[in-house]
Amino acid sequence: MRFTVTTWNINSVRLRIEQVRRFLHEVAPDVLCLQETKCPEDRFPLETLQSFGYRHVVHCGQKGYNGVAILSRYSFSARDGLELCARRDARHVSITLGPDAGAAAGFVVHNFYVPAGGDVPDPDLNPKFAHKLSFLAEMRRWGDERGPAKAPAVLVGDLNVAPLEHDVWSHRQLLDVVSHTPVETEALETLRGEAGWVDSARHLTPEPEKIYTWWSYRAQDWAASDRGRRLDHIWVSPDLAGALRSVEVSRGTRSWTRPSDHVPVTAAMEL
């Protein structure tokens, strides 16, 4: 059985609902995880998304910002959401796939949206950066206490950290830029390693090959300058690492009309 899961920071699901439809038609993953849906529960376009062939949908949202959703071809028997840093700010949702998922039945899929952290990489001067570091610290404790990677599981999301040297266009120039500072990269890699998660993209495509999933809106010609960062990740539990067959970055969506600044990342497994 081939099983595929996609992560995509959509940067407003209502604004880009047609882009979601197009992507699902062209790529058709089994599970699509969205971040930054930017809408409250009562404005979420549930029926429209279900009409795209994904009847099983869960959404955790709020007005104007954040928000995470999971669309699945398969039923899910459970759903959960973590409230990290004592905030109900719609940054995590998870599901457990039901028996109709075949060989993927029982898999837990975690969808995270880690805080961006603002512009100043100093927690004493920037509360947003302090929040980001606290969020990563709580993810680490969750991994240690709950052991989410000890059973078949996938963790995806906009983790807002480009952890490795070749996950950014210039390691040297971005060491003082939020998303690639040593305190962030060390925190993310530590929590991943301690919990046992396998970074699927780097498992299949080791450094020094560059991988980007985000390009700033500020660039006049993002494709020509190609100053990207790998902020969007798909991690798998160790027992699924051998099943990984590909990780595809849908770079072309960045050229669609009014695109998100993030592009979809899709992992395929043979189960």
Residues 2-270, CATH architecture: 4-Layer Sandwich (3.60)
Per-chain mean pLDDT for the chain: 97
* pLDDT reported for residue 190: 98
Report how far residue 261's alpha carbon sits from residue 145's, in angstroms, rounded to the nearest whole number.
Answer: 34
Tokens of 59: 């959404």
* pLDDT reported for residue 80: 86
- Residue 79 pLDDT > 90: no
pLDDT in tens, 129-153: 999 999 999 999 999 999 999 999 9
- Residue 78 pLDDT > 80: no
What percent of the chain clears pLDDT 90, i.e. is strictly above it?
Answer: 97
- Residue 193 pLDDT > 90: yes
Report how far residue 187's alpha carbon sits from residue 198's, in angstroms, rounded to the nearest whole number.
Answer: 15
Domains of the chain by residue range: 2-270
* E-strand stretches of the chain: 2-9, 31-35, 56-60, 68-72, 76-80, 92-97, 108-113, 153-158, 198-199, 214-215, 228-229, 232-236, 244-249, 265-270
SS3 4: strand
Q: How far is CA 118 from CA 127, 159, 160, 179, 201, in A?
A: 8, 14, 11, 9, 26
Task: Write phi, then psi, for 146 (nearest 5 degrees).
Answer: -100, -20
pLDDT in tens, 5-28: 999 999 999 999 999 999 999 999
Please compute, for residue 161, the number of CA atoms within 13 A of its CA located in the half-sphere on the CB side: 27
- Residue 271 pLDDT > 80: yes
Q: What angle do CA 105, 150, 184 make, to 5 degrees?
A: 115
* pLDDT reported for residue 200: 98
Our CA dihedral for 238, 245, 28, 98, rounded to 10 degrees, sits at -30
